[in-house]
Structure 1
Amino acid sequence: MQKQVVEYQGVPVGIVIPDQNRLRFIAVKYHVIGLDNQHFHSVQDVQRAIRAHLNHAPRFAA
């Protein structure tokens, strides 16, 4: 597998790259930086982690 872009709600938020028989997530958007450099078994696992991360993230007023 080559590197692959990961999107959330149609917006690119990071990439995954093969690393030690798993996928390492590299965040490119601040709101998913908490997942940066974590390893996953599949892109679907990354997307589930992003959803869970954003559902539990504090909301800041603008």
Structure 2
Amino acid sequence: MQERSLDRAKAHKPIVIEVAGEPLGVVVPHADGYRFLAVKLPAFAIDGQHFETVEKAHFAVSQAVRNGTLDPAA
């Protein structure tokens, strides 16, 4: 019984989203996709947003960096 709950916990493990080697947040499985949780400012601008895939979440964070809303060297 306990092994099953451990396997489930692994399946819900957060996935780190990095841009230019800087961790900016994580995505966690949620409903029909993933929810982004920011760990650095101003990635909080997209904190809590839902994405269909991890790749779409990563792209959204990358766009925030590219648009100058986040300096990965800060």
Q: Root-mean-square deviation (CA), in Å?
A: 1.7
Q: Does 1:46 align with 2:36?
A: no
User: What is the Cα deviation at residue 25 of structure 1?
Assistant: 0.2
- Map residues 7-26 of structure 1 onto 2, 5 A cutoff: 7-26=18-37
- Identify unmatched segments of 5+ residues in structure 2: 1-10
How many equivalent pairs are there? 59
TM value normalised by structure 1 = 0.79
TM value normalised by structure 2 = 0.68
Identity of aligned residues (%): 31
Larger Rg: 2
Contact 1:31–1:54, Cα closer than 8 Å, also in 2: no
More strand by share: 1
Hey, what's the Cα distance between the residues in 2 that align with 1:23 and 1:58? 22
Moved over 2 A (4+): 54-59
Contact 1:27–1:33, Cα closer than 8 Å, also in 2: yes
